[in-house]
Amino acid sequence: MPSLPPIPLAGIRRPRHALLSLATALAACGSGESALAPAPGTNTVQLSAAAALGEKIFRDPGLSASGRQSCASCHDPDNAHAPANALAGQPGGALLDQQGGRQAPSIRYLDTNRAFRFDDEGTPTGGFFWDGRAASLQQQAGEPFLNPREMANPGKAEVVAKLARASYEAEFRALYGNEVFADVDGAFQRMTLALQQYQLEDAGFHAYTSKYDEFLRGRAKLSEQELRGLALFNDPSKGNCAACHPSGRGSDGSLPLFTDFSYDALGVPRNPELQQNADPAFYDLGLCARPAGDLAARTDLCGAFKVPSLRNVARRHTFFHNGRFRALKEALTFYVQRDTDPRKWYPLDASGQPVKFDDLPPAYRANVNTSEAPYDRKPGDAPALSDSEVDDVVAFLDTLSDDYQP
């Protein structure tokens, strides 16, 4: 341990053996049985009855049309609550043959996120999903059950019927009333509430156990390369990453979340691995194309997606909303070379020119952020970060993974 005085942290450490017990429990998946609760004493904070129930729901594949998909399938607790594979979109539907249209994000570190709004400066902020369409963890938790490309239940009634057959149905009734399953909407709402409670209470969703957290607490030192990476990450004239992914201690002493919950259009290249992109007329427009249609008039927001937290980013297998990149280094290199070497990233048109921002219709390509570093460059310019500097930033991002062991 370094010599700096320890700074007290209140119950936000999650014991590693709790994770192990969850991993063990996962092996039992597929039987329609949910995970067992962690052995007594393994969790520093005992989950409430609602949260414990939420955990069982979270892990129950029996609630999907296929019978083979639970929340944990795409938000794997052993993989930072994100997919464990490198697929562009996760399979779903009754036969698990439907491909998701967007990359399943990690659902960690969302407990402080709030509903979507325009902030004082008019910047879109907050909300859940890539387009911020859900107002709360609870609302977010309900959607995949009914999404035909995901858990694919035809309606809430089917979900509630499955709940009524689950091994934990007695607990559900004990908590919400014996007749709870008679009221479909009420039971569905309580299910999502339990899921939210689980995500709020279980420290695994906001563990703050990364090496960087320990560094901020004065208990760990970053290596020289990691420190260089942090400096490049922060430096507004280099990576300028911290502009959207703040890395510093909050003014209230909180640990950084590495997102400002804002939205940005990055012009990520089109991903041919997404089946929906087989249609050349199809474009995923993000914020302006939310299903509710509330932002349809804001065409200046077309192409913008939520800025995700970079915590555990090094444990991801695909990057960006469309899963276009499979390696962190490739994603970072795209940031710094998008404008200096567009040929490397985009297809060429008939005249041999690269079609920048080809995943957006031409009319909306002007929405892409080209004013700030590292984008503020033109072909032939030196990238904001050299190849070895990208390696440094990758080394730093590696320190953002939970469960650091000195």
Partner 1 sequence: MRRTPLSIAVSTALLGAALSMPAHAQTPTELELARKLDRLAAELAEVKAQLATLRAQGGNAGTAAAASEAGTATRAAPAPATADAAPAAGRPTRAELPTRAELAEPATVLTSYGEINYTRPTKAPQDAQVDLRRFVLGFQHRMDSKTRLVAELEVEHAVSSADDPGEVALEQAFVERELGARLAARAGLFLIPAGMLNENHEPTAYYGVHRNFVETAIIPSTWREVGVQLIGNLDNGLTIQGGLSTGFDVGKWDATSTEGAESPLGAIHQEGAQARARNLAVFGAINWRGVPGLLVGGSAFSGAASHSQPLLPSARVSLWDLHARWSPGRWDLSSVYARGSISNTAALNATLVGNPTLIPERFDGWYLQGAYRLWSQGDYVLSPFVRLERFNTARDYADLGAGLTPQAAGTERVTTVGVNFLVGQGVVLKADVQRFGLVSANNRVNLGLGWSF
The site for partner 1 (CB under 8 A) is made up of: 4-5, 7-9, 120, 215-218, 224, 227-228, 230-236, 238, 242, 247-249, 251, 253-255
Least distance (Å) between residue 231 CB and partner 1: 3
Nearest by Cα to 400 from 257, 231, 218 = 257
Q: Cis check for the bond before 308: say yes or no (omega within 30 of 0).
A: no
Of 131 and 264, nearer to partner 1 (C-beta) is 264
Cβ distance 102 to 322 under 8 Å?
yes
Of 278 and 382, nearer to partner 1 (C-beta) is 382
Nearest by Cα to 239 from 333, 125, 137, 127 = 333
Least distance (Å) between residue 199 CB and partner 1: 23
Q: What Rg value do the Cα atoms of the chain yield, rounded? A: 22
Least distance (Å) between residue 230 CB and partner 1: 5
Of 8 and 280, nearer to partner 1 (C-beta) is 8
Of 36 and 231, nearer to partner 1 (C-beta) is 231
Least distance (Å) between residue 237 CB and partner 1: 9
Least distance (Å) between residue 132 CB and partner 1: 24
Least distance (Å) between residue 402 CB and partner 1: 17
Give the whole-angstrom CA distance, residue 99 versus residue 91. 5
- Determine phi and psi for 79, rounding to 5 degrees: -130, 45
Query: Taking the C-alpha atoms of 159, 161, 164 and 165 in order, what is their torsion angle to the nearest 10 degrees?
Result: -100
Of 12 and 175, nearer to partner 1 (C-beta) is 12
Cβ distance 326 to 317 under 8 Å?
yes
What three-state secondary structure class fits 151?
Answer: coil
What three-state secondary structure class fits 198?
Answer: helix
Least distance (Å) between residue 380 CB and partner 1: 26
Reported for 23-31, long-range contacts at CB under 8 A and 24+ positions apart, including other chains, are 23/77, 23/78, 25/59, 26/59, 26/72, 26/77, 26/78, 29/59, 29/61, 29/70, 29/72, 30/61, 30/68
Of 3 and 371, nearer to partner 1 (C-beta) is 3
Least distance (Å) between residue 235 CB and partner 1: 4
Of 136 and 247, nearer to partner 1 (C-beta) is 247
Give the whole-angstrom CA distance, residue 73 versus residue 87. 13
Of 26 and 231, nearer to partner 1 (C-beta) is 231
